[in-house]
């Protein structure tokens, strides 16, 4: 079967996510037959360098032998058992390991990132309710935040393209300014922007803390905002203010956890511990859906009672799936035993060096890097920049999906030097090409 055969069958039968399906009349889907390392291969044998880790989930590379083996081994003993009333080795070991790494002693599981957000929001509210403060039922999130797209998570997500349509269904969250370092006024440092944003947060807390259960944020990098990066001072201030005003801090590390920002968890760079830590995406190396919310003894104790209604009565059918937990254990083993984060530091330095000419271009603004994430904004008159850039990069054998005019790379950690070079060259050529060609298309909102 060729690409073309799969294409028509897919558009007939599959409703693709985050997509205006009619666009596929002009921009065909890419049917993928196999993947290995940083590469995807289609049914006609063309290869694509996966520079976005398949929507940020693939951590160590496709087809990673150790993760595959862990899933195979688990498959021979136990594929799944319900986690209410039952337990099993992989979920116990994973919970112990995550606790040791985060200092948060209790792990609650879900399947996708959005379900982790839902769990954290519900748990936070329920904690206050069990403590006789049911009026603390609102949430604060940041401008340009993204925490998932189920109805609860969408309420704390500030991406109008995703949320505006569903506004009548959503709880009204309180929104505070983003500490995005790109907002620095002349002479202002990233830390100044962070402090300014923290002051705005304090103003809201001073007035509203009595009705607020939690502040939810993406530590260091707001992914769906186009990889907006900010100074860790904001996290330190947020922690201090949440303590002072008695509001939970929920750290959504669904995208930035597991070494993405250079440390195993982004919060480490601010030396803070959240009350809830949401993990997903890279947790299984991009092999299987799994999410986890870690929380403190204090939160856990508020649910521990003789009354069943004080308990956290929330569940998903696949909670703590053994295959997914085994994949996650293999990821943690690999990160530790192969000292991947130290290797990433050298890798990141080399890639940043290769990208220096790109950063120096006249049409490139705000070149930024944090761990294994690189991003920059392109000054382009084209309304269809994201789509045109994506298509032109695909021609050159690279998968890069800009968010608006923000181009970013979030590659699997297995990325090699020759692949970095290829990505840098293809990006230069594509920017040159797009600056020469006129835009035929009208402006359309860009999807991540």
Bind-site residues for substrate: 55, 146, 281, 315, 401
* Structural tokens at position 432: 């040159």
Beta carbon of residue 292, minimum distance to ligand PLP (angstroms, whole number)? 12
Whole-Å CA distances, 369 to 41, 43, 164, 251, 375: 28, 34, 31, 20, 6
Are 226 and 377 in contact, with CB atoms under 8 Å apart? yes
Centre a 10 Å sphere on the Cβ of residue 431 and count the other Cβ atoms it contains: 20
At CA 206, angle to CA 205 and CA 211, rounded to 5?
Answer: 55
Question: Which residue in the set 255, 288, 372, 399 belongs to the binding site for ligand PLP (CB under 6 A)?
Answer: 255
Phi, psi of 248 (to 5 degrees): -70, 150
Detail the DSSP E strand segments found in 130-275: 138-142, 174-176, 212-217, 221-222, 228-229, 248-252
Interface with ligand PLP, residue 113, by CB under 6 A: yes
Give rounded-to-5 percent helix, strand, coil for the chain: 45, 15, 40
Question: Which residue in the set 91, 241, 254, 426 belongs to the binding site for ligand PLP (CB under 6 A)?
Answer: 254
Question: Which residue in the set 261, 280, 284, 406 belongs to the binding site for ligand PLP (CB under 6 A)?
Answer: 280
The binding site comprises 55, 113-114, 146, 252, 281, 315-317, 401
Closest CB to ligand PLP among residues 114, 198: 114
Beta carbon of residue 283, minimum distance to ligand PLP (angstroms, whole number)? 10
Closest CB to ligand PLP among residues 239, 281: 281
Beta carbon of residue 151, minimum distance to ligand PLP (angstroms, whole number)? 12
The binding site for pyridoxal 5'-phosphate comprises 113-114, 252, 316-317
* Structural tokens at position 197: 């944003």
Q: How far apart are CA 206 and CA 55, in angstroms?
A: 38
Q: What x/- string results for residues 139 through 178 when contact with ligand PLP is judged by CB under 6 A? A: -------xxx------------------------------
Residues numbered 297 to 356 that lie near ligand PLP (CB under 6 A) are: none
Q: How far apart are CA 110 and CA 325, in angstroms?
A: 11
Beta carbon of residue 345, minimum distance to ligand PLP (angstroms, whole number)? 23
Beta carbon of residue 448, minimum distance to ligand PLP (angstroms, whole number)? 9
Which residue of this chain has its Cβ atom nearest to ligand PLP in the complex? 113
Interface with ligand PLP, residue 413, by CB under 6 A: no
Are 379 and 266 in contact, with CB atoms under 8 Å apart? no
Closest CB to ligand PLP among residues 163, 280: 280
Interface with ligand PLP, residue 114, by CB under 6 A: yes
Within 13 A of 302's CA, how many CA atoms are on the CB side?
A: 15
Interface with ligand PLP, residue 218, by CB under 6 A: yes
């Amino acid at each position: 079967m060729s690409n073309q055969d799969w294409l028509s069958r897919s558009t007939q039968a599959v409703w693709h996510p985050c997509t205006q399906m009619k666009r596929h009349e002009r921009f065909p889907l890419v049917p993928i037959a196999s993947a290995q390392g940083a590469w995807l291969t289609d049914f006609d044998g063309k290869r694509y360098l996966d520079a976005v880790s398949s929507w940020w989930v693939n951590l160590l590379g496709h087809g990673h032998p150790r993760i595959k083996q862990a899933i195979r081994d688990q498959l021979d003993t136990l594929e799944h058992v319900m986690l209410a009333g039952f337990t099993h080795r992989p979920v116990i070991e994973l919970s112990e390991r995550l606790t040791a790494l985060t200092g948060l002693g209790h792990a609650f599981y879900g399947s996708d990132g959005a379900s982790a957000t839902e769990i954290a929001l519900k748990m936070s509210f329920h904690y206050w309710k069990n403590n006789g403060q049911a009026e603390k039922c609102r949430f604060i999130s940041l401008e340009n935040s993204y925490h998932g797209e189920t109805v609860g998570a969408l309420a704390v997500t500030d991406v109008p393209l995703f949320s505006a349509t569903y506004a009548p269904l959503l709880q009204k969250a309180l929104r505070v300014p983003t500490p995005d370092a790109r907002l620095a006024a002349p002479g202002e440092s990233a830390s100044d922007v962070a402090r300014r944003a923290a002051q705005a947060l304090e103003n809201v807390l001073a007035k509203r803390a009595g009705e607020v259960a939690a502040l939810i944020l993406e530590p260091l990098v707001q992914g769906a905002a186009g990889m907006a990066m900010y100074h860790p001072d904001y996290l330190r201030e947020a922690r201090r203010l949440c303590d002072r005003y008695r509001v939970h801090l929920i750290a959504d590390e669904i995208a930035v956890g597991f070494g993405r920002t250079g440390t195993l968890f982004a919060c480490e760079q601010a030396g803070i511990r959240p009350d809830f830590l949401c993990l997903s995406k890279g947790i299984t190396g991009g092999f299987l859906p799994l999410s986890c919310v870690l929380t403190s003894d204090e939160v856990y104790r508020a649910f521990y009672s003789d009354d069943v209604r004080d308990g956290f009565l929330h569940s998903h059918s696949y909670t703590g799936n053994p295959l997914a937990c085994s994949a996650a254990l293999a990821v943690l083993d690999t990160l530790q035993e192969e000292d991947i984060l130290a290797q990433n530091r050298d890798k990141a330095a080399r890639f940043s060096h290769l990208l220096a000419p790109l950063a120096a271009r006249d049409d490139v603004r705000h070149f930024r890097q944090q761990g294994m994430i690189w991003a920059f904004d392109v000054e382009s008159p084209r309304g269809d920049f994201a789509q045109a850039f994506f298509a032109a990069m695909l021609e050159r054998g690279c998968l890069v999906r800009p968010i608006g005019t923000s181009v970013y790379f979030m590659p699997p950690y297995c990325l090699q030097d020759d692949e970095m070079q290829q990505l840098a060259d293809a990006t230069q050529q594509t920017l040159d090409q797009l600056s020469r060609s006129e835009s035929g298309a009208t402006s359309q909102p860009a999807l991540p």
